[in-house]
Amino acid sequence: MSFTTETRLSRTETRTGTITRTVIAAPTNGRVENVIIQIAQWWQATRAIARQVLEVIRAGVTSVGWLMLATATLGLPAGLIWGWAEWVVAGLSATVIIVIALPFLLGTVNYRIDFEASHTKVTVGQDAAIGLSITNETARIALPARLDVPIGEGSVQIYLPLLGPGRSMSKRIPVPTDRRGVVPIGPITLVRTDPIGVLRREARWQERTEVFVRPRIVTTPSTSIGLVRDLDGTPTRKLVDSDISFHAIREYAAGDAQRHVHWKSTAKTGQLMVKQYEVSMRSRLAVVLSCARDEFADDEEFELGVSVAASVAVQGIRDGRDVDAIVSAEIPEVARSRVRAIANLATVTPSVLLDGTCRIGLRESTMPLEEVCRLGAESSDKISLAVLVCGSTVGLRRLRRAALTLPADTAIIAVICDERAHPTMHQLGNLSVLTVGVLDDLTGLLVRAGAT
């Protein structure tokens, strides 16, 4: 038992002064407060249970079911009160239909659904399908049901027959491959309903899978364009003070490290002599793909650009080059003037690279081609060959500005994707400009670029 003591102070003004009175209230019992708290807790629990019940009813009753419920709960009493035989018959019929529909929803939903994806990586236009294996894992016969399988932006419905205990069935679902991208499949929803469609019951499986629809690529020729000094490559004119490939001996200059002094030559000439080496580095290929929407005439032109960039990058990986696959990154519109961003696709293997190209697309808010090249050059200063892929709306002037952002000793090839143009090649200083109308033109144009 708890008690509460309440003290009140009051001040009364008189002619003689201020009189302070202290009133001590009688102790009160705390049972009233406990009852109020218990009522509040009971009300909250009741509301939570009622909310869950309403959600179950809302999910399990169809529009036809709500009509039947309204007819049974309102029509039958109205017919009995006012003597309307039609409403009595309608109310009784609705009640019978609801009672008959209830057994179709009873029992547990215990299926095992497995994906049988034999081809999850396909090229645009190839046939692809996903296999589903549905097994009844209960000890009872499973009633007919329907599977809703989301595939990309659409959905496929599969109707399941009666399945005995332990029985299974398989179904193959075609996957659309007319566009490059990643096609998500799942999550699968099982819907069980009665023959009239009054009540329904759903169960969802969270398992998902993806089908990668890769861009079409062609085999491009291996070329020595942009090759710099490698362990067994061709020599370069760039000399350094420390490397593994000896070049010559020169006189000592102020700032040279003492560890580079060649003492035998110094003893012969009487002057300090230091060793000089040829720079040794691997050949690095940078494939830059612009993803700005205003730099391509339409979506088909961009798809051609993705195929061109993927073909060049895959051939570079197969040739053993270090490949940087650089694409434009999305930038928030509010921070476009303050943020610079690019995305580098993984180039571990050709398969990993092609999977990465499935996720790129045209972007509304991103950097132009010139800024993408500048940021790519800043992130990697050892680019020996750069291939710039853009759309038909990018002119030669912008391509030259983009080329100027790259290192001076970098060989540069610009590929303009224009489906309305004939295959052509122009040479602007150290910049080779190729115009590709279809993907098959790329191989021949690169052969000509490698010969010049």
Per-residue model confidence as pLDDT tens digits over 351-380: 999 999 999 999 888 888 999 999 988 887
Mean pLDDT value across residues 254-265:
80
Query: What pLDDT is recorded for position 437?
Result: 92
Question: Can you list the alpha helix ranges (DSSP code H) found in 61-127?
Answer: 63-70, 76-82, 85-101
- Tracing tokens 């990309």 back to the chain, one arrives at 152
Position 181: which residue type? Answer: G
Query: What pLDDT is recorded for position 244?
Result: 46
Three-point CA angle 141, 146, 151, nearest 5°: 135
Which residue from 194, 190, 189, 191 is spatially nearest to 65, judged by alpha carbons? 194
Quote the CA–CA distance of 118 and 116 in Å, as a whole number: 6
Query: What pLDDT is recorded for position 359?
Result: 93
Give me the phi and psi of 257, to 5 degrees please: -75, 145
As a whole-number percent, the residues of the chain with pLDDT over 70 amount to: 82
- Tracing tokens 């003597």 back to the chain, one arrives at 83
Q: Is the pLDDT of residue 85 over 60?
A: yes
Position 211: which residue type? Answer: V
Helix (H) and strand (E) counts for the chain? 10, 24
- Tracing tokens 């009995």 back to the chain, one arrives at 80
Mean pLDDT across the chain, nearest whole number?
A: 81
Q: Is the pLDDT of residue 232 over 70?
A: no
Position 436: which residue type? Answer: V
- Tracing tokens 């580079």 back to the chain, one arrives at 260
Mean pLDDT value across residues 319-345:
81
Q: H or E stretch including 154?
A: strand 154-160
Angle between helices 85-101 and 63-70 (to 10 degrees): 130
Quote the CA–CA distance of 215 and 310 in Å, as a whole number: 8
Mean pLDDT value across residues 53-79:
79
Q: Which residues contact 255 (CB under 8 A, 6 or more apart)?
A: none
Residue pair 324/344 in contact by the 8 Å Cβ criterion:
yes
Where does the pLDDT of residue 310 fall: very low under 50, low under 70, confident under 90, or very high at 90 and above?
A: very high
Give the residue with greater pLDDT, 396 vs 26: 396
Query: What pLDDT is recorded for position 18?
Result: 47
